[in-house]
Structure 1
Amino acid sequence: MVKRIFSICLISIIAIFINSCDKNGGAEDSIFGSKIISDHTVAKFSNLNSAKIEAAKAKLHIAYGHTSHGSQITTGMSGLVNFKGSQFAYNNGGSNGALDLRDSPFSGASDLGNPNRTAWEAATRSYLANHTDINVIMWSWCGQVSGASEQDINTYLSLMSNLEKDFPKVKFVYMTGHLDGSGLTGNLHLRNEQIRNFCNTNNKILFDFADIESYDPDGNYYLD
């Protein structure tokens, strides 16, 4: 079951990129006006075919910053190579036909809350200045949304928006925080809703980690 959940994460993230390429004509175009919400509803192998997968691998150069919980995405991708074949392979640089995904390549920050809630922004700017081929940036949380205030999340959203303005040819993937068992009334859900509402209102790209975790592979809902 865990491997299937990892696979859902992988399919969702590929769906973001494929839809993005289809809608905008390529990752080189501006992201503005191209809302993509990747949640449990898009996590289906039936959404993919070989042509879409190859198109994504040809166009996308991804840098992904994360710690423990964020590794579910890359762990799932690694597992899919054995489960579904080498078309799901990734590596740093995209050699041998793999997806170019730089796993935790940043200096000065580990995730969206480590060592603090803003260091990732400077780390992103520094990395993009030295790696102009990158056209997708994604960072994950590791529990920090649970204790975040409304202002903390506003800071995150503001920093992301400023990066989008300064790097219009790069796609920035927003993310919700992983579940913590506090349910629909907990602070985590409120802050995740804040992120979702912002992304929906402002046409952002969102990887809804919490929504994906709220359902098992058979579609049963557990957040409540």
Structure 2
Amino acid sequence: MITMKRIGLFGLVAALVLFAGCQATGGDDDDDPPPQTDAVIVDHTSIDIDGIPSTRIDQAKQTLHIAYGHTSHGSQLTTGMTGLVGFKGTQYAYNAGGASGALDLRDYYGDFGGLGVAGDLGNPDRTAWAGATRTYLNQNPTVNVIIWSWCGQVDGTEAEIQQYLDLMDGLEDDFPNVRFVYMTGHTDGAPLTGNVPNRNKQIRDYCLANNKILYDFADIESYDPDGDYFGDKLVNDACDYDSNGDGTRDSNWAVIWQNAHPGEWYDCESAHSQPLNANLKAYAAWHLWARLAGWDGN
């Protein structure tokens, strides 16, 4: 009888261990970043690249394994990061896999994960990206950060944006060890009462209310590096804006700033836009990586 009880106890323990092992979904790494408890909002206030502690940059490179799905607009982030290496140094290098001490960032332009399923949050439709993410994470269990960008499809209905938020929330529930980064869409020249600003606000408000991680693409391109605001001046993704309130975009904040600050920015590819826009996107991206690695942003 004693032997049978011992066997039964052993079997129960073994079953519990097996069950626990089966529950680990995504982010299967001994060096996972610390857990997130509050909202992380990366926006135009997150562009001080020199203010990021070098220890947190190193920590990001040691702990983060990032997969990024995007098309042309979203490429501003990574082309900016590529140019940053020549401007600020190799400590900002990245590659797929993290070779030679670089940040492990798998950059998927138009074909996330090489799966042939989804290009961005609206390509080929508004749900394919979520299925592609699930497949990818099941195939790549060490990845612990997922980030997707929009192209122009944030210009949808309130219900369509809520669908995006719900799909992200579902992924967070099913892959608790993975950080999912929400994103707003690019500016499109609409007034603040327009659809795109309101859909971006919907995403922003949801992230603040529910302690999510947000890379605020639209906010970053609504300010110049001095903090001057252009979001109420019909600003678009090219950084064009209406300078005199006559309803016509007749100036470009990025070109003006670049001309006034030689040597303080770097030339790089910036789809649909100016190099400075991609510079700012890269600075904010490194702020994001450092925050995910445990930096408090101060």
**Which category describes the TM-score, using the shorter chain as reference length?**
0.7 to 0.9
Matched, 1:55 2:56: no
Q: How far off is 1:28 after superposition?
A: 4.5
The corresponding residue for 1:12 is none
| Aligned match of 1:40 | 44
Instruction: State the match for 1:84 in structure 2.
Output: 88
1:216 deviation in Å?
Answer: 1.3
Q: Deviations over 1:1-32 (max 9, x none)?
A: xxxxxxxxxxxxxxxxxxxxxxxxx744544x
SS of the residue aligned with 1:203? Answer: coil
Please tell me whether residue 184 in structure 1 is matched to residue 184 in structure 2. no
1:142-174 deviation digits (Å, cap 9, x = unpaired)? 01112x100000000000000000000000000
Q: Give the letter for the 1:223 counterpart.
A: G
Structure 1 residues without counterparts, runs of 5 or longer: 1-25
Q: Kindly indicate whether the alpha-carbon contact (under 8 Å) linking 1:142 and 1:177 is maintained by their aligned counterparts in 2.
A: yes
Given that 2:122 and 2:151 are in contact with CA atoms closer than 8 Å, whether structure 1 keeps it comes out as yes
Matches within 5 A, 1:104-119: 104=108, 105-106=112-113, 107=115, 108-119=117-128
Q: Which residue of 2 aligns with 1:95?
A: 99
Q: TM-score, normalised by structure 2?
A: 0.64
CA distance in 2, matches of 1:27, 1:37: 20
Aligned length: 197
The match for 2:150 is 141
Find out whether 1:213 has 2:221 as its counterpart.
Answer: yes
Paired letter, 1:37: I
CA displacement 1:124-152 (0-9 Å, x = unmatched): 00000000000000000001112x10000
Give, in whole Å, the separation in 2 of the partners of 1:129 and 1:96.
Answer: 26
Distance 2:163 2:34 in 1: 26
Q: CA deviation at 1:73?
A: 0.4
Structure 2 contact 70–119 (Cα < 8 Å) conserved? yes
Q: Is this contact kept in 1: 2:150–2:183, CA < 8 A?
A: yes
Greater helix share, structure number: 1
SS state at 1:41 partner: coil
Q: Does structure 2 conserve the Cα–Cα contact (< 8 Å) formed by 1:65 and 1:111?
A: yes
What is the CA–CA distance in structure 2 between the aligned matches of 1:49 and 1:145, rounded to whole Å? Answer: 34
Q: Name structure 2 gaps, 5 residues minimum.
A: 1-30, 233-298
Of 151, 154, 179 in structure 2, the residue corresponding to residue 171 of structure 1 is 179
RMSD over aligned Cα atoms? 1.2
Q: Does structure 2 conserve the Cα–Cα contact (< 8 Å) formed by 1:89 and 1:99?
A: yes
CA distance in structure 1 between the partners assigned to 2:136 and 2:48 by the alignment: 32
Question: Quick one: distance in 1 between partners of 2:169 and 2:66?
Answer: 18
**Separation of aligned partners in 1, 2:34 and 2:177:** 6
User: After TM superposition, what 4+ stretches of structure 1 lie above 2 angstroms from structure 2?
Assistant: 26-31
Counterparts of 1:96 and 1:45 in 2: how far apart (Å)? 22
TM-score by length of 1: 0.85
What SS does the aligned partner of 1:117 have? coil
Alpha-carbon contact 1:30-1:168 (below 8 Å) kept: no
Deviation at 1:220, TM superposition (A): 1.1
1:66-116 C-alpha deviation (Å, 9 max, x unpaired): 000000000010000100010111000000010000001422000000000
User: Which residues in structure 2 correspond to 1:5-24 (within 5 Å)?
Assistant: none
Q: 2:102 & 2:49 partners in 1: Cα distance?
A: 18
Identity value in percent:
60
